Structure 1
Amino acid sequence: MTNIKTIVAVSKSIDPLKASQEIQQQLNHPDIDFVLFYCSAVYQLDELAAAMTLCLKGIDIVGCTTAGEFTRDGSEQKSIVAIGFSGKYFSISAIQIESMEDFTVVDAQNTMSELAAQCCLNELAPIQDNSFLVTLLDGLSRKEELFLQTLNSATYGIPHFGGSAGDDVNLANTHVFYQNKFYQQAAVVILINTKCAFEVFNCNHIKCPTEKLVVTEADVENRTVYELNAMPAAVEYANLLNIDVKDLTPEVFSLNPLAVKVGGQYYIRSIQKVNVEDLSLTFYCAIDVGIVLAAVEMDNICDSLNNKLENITQRLGKSELVLAFDCFLRRIEIEQKELNKAIESLYAKYNIAGFNSYGEHINGIHLNQTFAAVFIAENETKEDNVNE
């Protein structure tokens, strides 16, 4: 059989057993010993969990629900995307965190120690400089920031990215999958140790800030802003855009994001919804009273991503896989601007696969409207680094 590093599989069948069988057939290679999958929330999740476990018997499987899926062949919805990793090139361990809210610094240290110990059993490559972390979190938990900050305190410089699970933009139930079952309010932390050259990165297309809005009243715990500039939040935001409050939709949010400046960089804080009873705004990311939110002018979404990926390609060589978590609001923007063909050409060019998320993670930070990913090169790391 041919030597492989990764295999990307897709099923568009809504029947859990048939979909799982199709995934298994596409991933049927003796070297595949770990599978990462992303699925629409349209599936009966208990049935899908049983079917995936049955069809991929003997293989470690983790995953989550999504707000859309994508591969080198384009964007999907109501589908499953699964990525199989060869044990010859990747040593992978995963741990479930049942409660993000109760996750402590000691838990983070123990988690990292256990993950590293499991990866080391394969003696593939030294953990430091040859590993990266992937996080899958319940996208409606509202505990992402605290969890990511705590985990980041114990990563010892290992680069980290991830995505928050979606549910086809129903905003009702998001799940992560670990050891035969879907969970809520939970996280899965994955350590991937590899012989391949790689780079963890994130990309947005913020061009420049424009108007400033100050959060003057908020419910921090529930990420809800009641007032911006001492005015009802939805009214002030709508006034900024010169539209009526009733016309505020996810499509409007995607094209007119708000951002906060952290360490000299602007990071988007995406609006989740308008609460009509009090004209407040609920966000996907943490907010606080007194923070300044800036309306931002956006650049070309495809050009910014292509430039980033081309730059990495120049340094690392051609990509084997770009494993990515891309905010679902970016997908909405792409659809509104009719850029589907342009973005899909990038998926094919760089072999991109992943899912549309409710939030993105990069080195302990929770982001919105961002492309967070790892570029895994076809080339291996230098031999002297691998066999130290």
Structure 2
Amino acid sequence: MEGGTQVRTHLCGIRTVWTETRDAREAVAELAAALASHAPVAHLLIFFSSDYDPEILNAALTTTFPGTPVSGCSMSGGMAPSGGFEHGLVAVAFPAKGFRIASIALDTIDRLDVEGTAAAVRALRRRLEPHGPETRPGRFALCLIDGLANAEEAVVSAIAWALDGIPLVGGSAGDDLVFRETVLLHGGRIRRRSAVLLLIDSDYPIEIFRSDNFEPTQRRFVVTASDEDRRVVHELNAEPAAQEYAAAIGLKPDLLSPLSFATHPLAVKVGGEYFCRAIRHMNPDGSLTFFCAVEEGVVLTLARHCDLVESTRAELDRIDAAVGGIDLVIGFECVLRRLDADSRQLRQGVAELYRRYSVVGFETYGEQFRAMHLNQTFTGIAIGRAPES
């Protein structure tokens, strides 16, 4: 994406704004200028570069948009109709007309109170009850989770249970593969070890989705030693994990890198389907840290890549037909998919899809889909062009 602030007004009334400005105050000022001539914002959703100072960013947002609910998180890169970008800010401004939004923050998710979380989500549902039955086709939940709290599985499971069938989608906050600090914003506060949940009631048709681009091979590994809470796998097939994985992909362990993990994913079979369990990094002791919890005894399958652009296009084409024409996609894409696209020189093809289907969102440390926490996947919510009749 070239420099400057860009804004798009969608048929549903949502406005999306994106900028590569590296100064947090300037980015917020540009955002305010882009939104100034439009109707008031009912809820502002922000995905921002991890090199922004969160204190400065939050103060600027609070001062510039007084009284406007703001939710957001740090990212490992942004997505916009003009393509992907590594630094800056992308915003989704929901109007009051056509959208009703209630939101909450869930704190200390690394010590999750499941019953308390479920009660908070049910209370959130009740806040939207005056707007019609919960089975309305335009109702969905959007979740942002601290990507370094190692709590996504428990959080998503508890939220999905309490949502009782309302579709859930979202992403885990990132920090550009530094793995030092991820932050969220909600209620005028900076939050860590937290999750933010938005329950959105829309007059427009919606559909949540997930897309991946890998298929299983015959090469399998049994997890024979792991620390599930820390997401560390010590042994695969009773051998040091990094050594066994590296041998399977034809590398020496000291040559493993994020690109290796992106181009040679591991997957687990659940309910007849394969889901990626992506590796975050190799540790000095030869163990592997994952983006998802991995239990001892689980069988991991080495996967091979299918065409990323074609698989994504096929899913977006399907959704386009399902919602009567896509107006906007709010997407959550694993940062490893970007690394893979770059290594295979597919970035231009991906950018063309973003442009065609008005994709905005961020690159994540994990993706949420219904009751599952996923890796190396593209998930999102598509909003149709015409209101529900």
| TM-score normalized by the length of structure 1 | 0.94
SS of the residue aligned with 1:35?
strand
Change (3 A) 1:3 1:153: closer
Mean Cα deviation higher: 147-156 or 280-289: 147-156
| Structure 1 residue aligned with 2:236 | 228
SS of the residue aligned with 1:47?
helix
Pairing partner for 2:79 from 70, 80, 90: 70
| Structure 2 residue aligned with 1:39 | 48
For the pair 1:193 / 2:183, whether they are aligned, the reply is no
| Structure 2 residue aligned with 1:81 | 90
Pairing partner for 1:48 from 57, 64, 74: 57
Please tell me the residue identity of whatever aligns with 1:306.
R
* 1:113 to partner: Cα distance: 2.8
| Structure 2 residue aligned with 1:280 | 287
Instruction: Please give the per-residue CA displacement for 1:228-270, whole angstroms capped at 9, x wherever unaligned.
Output: 1111100001100111111100011000000000111100000
| Structure 2 residue aligned with 1:259 | 267
Summarize the alignment of residues 1-388 of structure 1 with structure 2, pairs less than 5 Å apart.
5-28=13-36, 29-120=38-129, 123=131, 125-129=132-136, 130-276=138-284, 278-382=285-389
Change (3 A) 1:313 1:223: same
Instruction: State whether residues 122 and 163 of structure 2, in contact with CA within 8 Å, keep that contact through their aligned partners in structure 1.
Output: no
Change (3 A) 1:17 1:89: same
* 1:62 to partner: Cα distance: 0.1
Instruction: State whether residues 118 and 158 of structure 2, in contact with CA within 8 Å, keep that contact through their aligned partners in structure 1.
Output: no
Instruction: State whether residues 27 and 89 of structure 2, in contact with CA within 8 Å, keep that contact through their aligned partners in structure 1.
Output: yes
Partners of 1:323 and 1:103 in 2: CA distance: 27
* 1:107 to partner: Cα distance: 2.1
Change (3 A) 1:328 1:273: same
Please tell me the residue identity of whatever aligns with 2:381.
V
Instruction: State whether residues 10 and 328 of structure 2, in contact with CA within 8 Å, keep that contact through their aligned partners in structure 1.
Output: no
Change (3 A) 1:19 1:2: closer
Please tell me the residue identity of whatever aligns with 1:167.
D
Instruction: Please give the per-residue CA displacement for 1:63-109, whole angstroms capped at 9, x wherever unaligned.
Output: 00001001101111110000101111111111001111343343233
Instruction: State whether residues 63 and 177 of structure 1, in contact with CA within 8 Å, keep that contact through their aligned partners in structure 2.
Output: yes
* 1:11 to partner: Cα distance: 2.2
Please tell me the residue identity of whatever aligns with 2:243.
V
* 1:52 to partner: Cα distance: 1.0
Instruction: State whether residues 12 and 327 of structure 2, in contact with CA within 8 Å, keep that contact through their aligned partners in structure 1.
Output: no
* 1:283 to partner: Cα distance: 0.4
Partners of 2:118 and 2:236 in 1: CA distance: 39
Partners of 1:117 and 1:202 in 2: CA distance: 28
* 1:114 to partner: Cα distance: 2.5
Partners of 1:113 and 1:281 in 2: CA distance: 37
SS of the residue aligned with 2:208?
strand
Please tell me the residue identity of whatever aligns with 2:163.
T
Instruction: Please give the per-residue CA displacement for 1:349-369, whole angstroms capped at 9, x wherever unaligned.
Output: 000000000000111111000
| TM-score normalized by the length of structure 2 | 0.94
Instruction: State whether residues 104 and 150 of structure 1, in contact with CA within 8 Å, keep that contact through their aligned partners in structure 2.
Output: no
Instruction: Please give the per-residue CA displacement for 1:297-354, whole angstroms capped at 9, x wherever unaligned.
Output: 1111111111011011122222121000000000101111111110000001000000
Please tell me the residue identity of whatever aligns with 1:100.
I
Instruction: Please give the per-residue CA displacement for 1:123-162, whole angstroms capped at 9, x wherever unaligned.
Output: 3x53323311111000010111111111121111000011
* 1:3 to partner: Cα distance: 7.5
Structure 1 gaps of 5+ residues are: 383-388
Please tell me the residue identity of whatever aligns with 1:233.
A
Structure 2 gaps of 5+ residues are: 1-8
* 1:4 to partner: Cα distance: 5.3
Partners of 2:47 and 2:108 in 1: CA distance: 21
SS of the residue aligned with 2:162?
coil
CA RMSD of aligned residues (A): 1.5
Partners of 1:379 and 1:101 in 2: CA distance: 41
Instruction: State whether residues 65 and 166 of structure 1, in contact with CA within 8 Å, keep that contact through their aligned partners in structure 2.
Output: yes
